[in-house]
Amino acid sequence: MNDLYVGFFVSLLAGFIGSLVGVGGGIINGPYLSFLNYTPSQISATSLIAVFFSSISSSIQFLRKKLVQIKIGLILATASIPGTLIGVYLSNSFTYEQFRYFFAIILLCTATYLMLRHKLFAIQKLESKSNSEIHTAKYIKLIFLISLSFGAGIVSSSFGVGGGIIFVPCLIMIMKFSIKYSTATSQFALLFTSLSGLLLFVLQGRPDYQMGLILAFGSIIGGTFGSLLAVRLSSSFLLRIFSGLLILVSLKMIYDGLSLPK
């Protein structure tokens, strides 16, 4: 029961941070479930319950504020859904050691992105192209977007993180979206991507529904507040703190993986 109480407060933070920076609350929920010694597929499946409900709550807020680019969001979702099939297979194949090592890499990549995201946005704002160049690059951008979204689907279901760590940088660098529009559109796409992976795990009987619903409830509350603040809060200081936390958690997961009996 204590694990459920702790899980609720963890999910509050996960939902808040996930909607604020658009990377999905699974970045926080996943390590928590790992520390409870859930199997890799249980972690991914249970975490995706929270990611799904958090995405619903965040998307509603972002849609009301007209920050979601619906067409692009649907492209992201459609391209990522086939990748969730591979992700579910990988999640079922991971050993504890492999899962924790790879999840640690995901956390380190997320921390790096969060520390550099404003610089990436500043760089892309300086770029200027003519109409002919934009037209020529249109289909190339679309191919890149679809390919990377497919990878996001794999990552989403493999680790239960949603895929926002790939969606948001893609929208900033490829589509030249602002951070706020990238975050909102990413959350909209995560709604479909997380649901796809979750349904596959449900068919296999993987989720811990009690823990998943607790995480979902906390994520809804946290996600609602996060999406409300995302449009008016300067989050650079919060991102630095969160990035540092992710680095510490990733190192702990690597240590745990090394400490597991072979």
For 213-231, write each residue's pLDDT tens digit.
Answer: 999 999 888 877 776 766 5
Sign of the alpha-carbon torsion through 131, 132, 135, 140: negative
User: How many Cα atoms occupy the beta-carbon half-sphere of 60 within 13 Å?
Assistant: 10
**Residue 18 confidence (pLDDT) above 60:** yes
Q: In the prediction, which pLDDT does 16 show?
A: 80
**Residue 128 confidence (pLDDT) above 60:** no
Q: In the prediction, which pLDDT does 80 show?
A: 94
Q: How many domains does the chain have?
A: 1
Q: In the prediction, which pLDDT does 130 show?
A: 46
* CA–CA gap between residue 35 and residue 256 (Å, rounded): 9
Residues 6+ apart with CB under 8 A from 74: 189, 192
Distances, alpha carbon 101 to alpha carbons 42, 86, 163, in Å = 17, 19, 18
**Residue 43 confidence (pLDDT) above 80:** yes
Q: In the prediction, which pLDDT does 212 show?
A: 93
**Which range of residues forms the domain containing residue 133?**
2-259
- Other CB atoms within 10 A of residue 170 CB: 23
* CA–CA gap between residue 222 and residue 25 (Å, rounded): 10
Tokens of 65: 């504020």
Phi and psi based region of residue 203 (left: phi greater than 0; alpha: psi -120 to 50; beta: remaining)? alpha
* CA–CA gap between residue 223 and residue 211 (Å, rounded): 18
CB 197, CB 44: distance < 8 Å: yes
- Tell me: the pLDDT tens digits for 184-211? 898 899 899 999 999 999 999 999 999 9
- Among 42-46, 160-164, 182-186, 257-261, whose mean pLDDT is lowest? 257-261
**Residue 110 confidence (pLDDT) above 90:** no
Q: Provide the CA 81 distance to its chain's centre, in angstroms.
A: 14
* CA–CA gap between residue 132 and residue 26 (Å, rounded): 41
47-51, 54-58, 249-253: which is most confident: 47-51
- Tell me: the pLDDT tens digits for 60-81? 888 988 989 999 999 999 999 9
Q: In the prediction, which pLDDT does 85 show?
A: 93
